[in-house]
Amino acid sequence: MKRLQVLFLVALSSTLLLFGCGKEEQEEVVEPVVEQVIDDIVEPDTDIEDPEDVQQGTDDDTPPEEGMVRSRITNEWVTEEVNNTRPITVMIPNTKTASQYGISNADVLYECNVEGSITRLMALFQDWSDYDRIGNVRSCRDYYVYWSFEWDAFYIHYGGPFYIDEVINRPDTEDIDGMSSSNFWRADDAHNSTDNAYVDTEGLKADIKKLGYSMEYRNGYADEQHYQFAPSGEPNTLEQYSDAITADKIDMSPTYPVTNCYFIYNDETGLYDRYQHLSGDSDGPHIDKANGKQLAFKNILIQNTYYEVRDEKGYLAFQCHDTTRDGWFFTNGKGIHVNWEKTSDYGATRYYDDTGNEIQLNTGKTMVCIVEDGDSFLVDGQKVG
């Protein structure tokens, strides 16, 4: 099959009347706003180093139970079945009316602005085998689909504006849409009639079977190691970098002015605990309603990304594929400047230090913050970016 080529978001002039998320409808569109340069699909890019030649942090320590292996997503111990089952990515709102269930179990969490400086989250779950409530689920934005592609995940959403049509309708896009599924359901205890759609494991499995998707990774994908991990017994402290900065508080408020989220390094756990204060609300931990747990991450990746405003309603386009864009990597209370690249739809986003070496993440969950070019954030009160 043909290799996937680089996608560039190219702004075109357009006339737009009414479109939107969920059940909003489009009345008239003269021209599309995004032109995608792609080939017929559908194999992931596997032109990388042999995984056996790359240090993956697979220590000589004994797994806690027989048959467990290192997760390709977190480097934690998981069963072979979990490691060989395709993950899911779920679109989750992050507003005052959001009712978030299961989000603390996400192995990777993406955050990016959508219209009106509101952020939306995309949660990646490797082990989704036993959930009775995931969500609430909201609508798609096309740039999230390309971040989902690089994990070969089932993409879970609830409708979306017409901008998503081209990528969603591609033959290799394996999504599950609550607008057409009978297995999503609405909860009575949600804040409103918009942020109340959920799905569970059994519903997802039923949709996957109905749509003819395979639970196994597609040909070639699982051969590629995504993140590179330091051995769990020899964590990456970033002390090898003379220009590493201390990072006890990472404040994303300047770039996410509605969410106003920030991260505090917890010396006891070695994790970054997440807080936010939505639209001027008082500060507070970001809590999963399913279990009362605060969201916390071992690794935080920040990507400066080219973007354009598509229309007067504020819909955005992000250039997901790029080279030599810069960003930051934070772990264990320190941070370094990095450069990132993503060269194909299914290719992993890779992060390199300023000497050109691919960075090693530490075992655990990862937060990915997509930042609009030109925006900055604060680290221990100092402007960065």
* Span of 6-15, 102-111, 190-199, 265-274 with lowest mean pLDDT: 6-15
Model confidence at 66: pLDDT above 80: yes
Could you list the residue range(s) of the whole structural domain that residue 299 is in?
Answer: 2-384
From the centroid of its chain, how far is CA 365?
A: 11
Q: Looking at the DSSP assignment, which residues form a beta bridge with residue 384?
A: 377
d(C-alpha 71, C-alpha 148), whole Å: 17
For 210-225, what is the mean pLDDT?
88
Which residue, 277, 275, 284, 287, is CA-closest to 257?
Answer: 277
For the cut 80, the answer to whether the pLDDT of residue 224 exceeds it is no
Q: pLDDT band at residue 281, thresholds of 50, 70 and 90? A: confident
Q: Residue 346: give its domain's CATH number.
A: 3.50.90.10
- The per-residue pLDDT for range 33-61, each reduced to its tens digit, is 333 434 334 444 434 344 334 344 444 57
Between the alpha carbon of residue 149 and those of residues 67, 75, 146, 173, the distances in Å are: 28, 20, 5, 8
Task: Give 22's pLDDT tier (boundaries 50, 70, 90).
Answer: very low
pLDDT more than 90, % of the chain: 74
* Residue 361 confidence (pLDDT): 98
The per-residue pLDDT for 17 is: 31
Average pLDDT for 279-296: 89
Question: What is the total count of domains within the chain?
Answer: 1
Band (143; pLDDT cuts 50, 70, 90):
very high
**Tens of pLDDT along 154-180?**
999 999 999 999 999 999 999 999 999
Tell me the average pLDDT of the chain.
86
Average pLDDT of the segment spanning 208-216:
98
> Are the C-beta atoms of residues 106 and 62 closer than 8 Å to each other?
no
Q: What is the average per-residue pLDDT within 294-305?
A: 98
What pLDDT is attached to residue 57? 41
Q: pLDDT at residue 19 above 60?
A: no
Res. 359: pLDDT tops 70: yes
Residues 91-132: tens digit of each pLDDT: 999 998 899 999 999 999 999 999 988 999 999 999 999 999
* φ/ψ (deg, to 5) at 279: 50, 45
Does residue 264 contact residue 248 with C-beta atoms inside 8 Å? Answer: yes
Check residue 87 and give its pLDDT: 98
Predicted TM-score of the model (pTM): 0.85
**Mean pLDDT along residues 129-137:** 96
Q: Which of 47-56, 249-258, 339-348, 352-361 has the lowest mean pLDDT?
A: 47-56
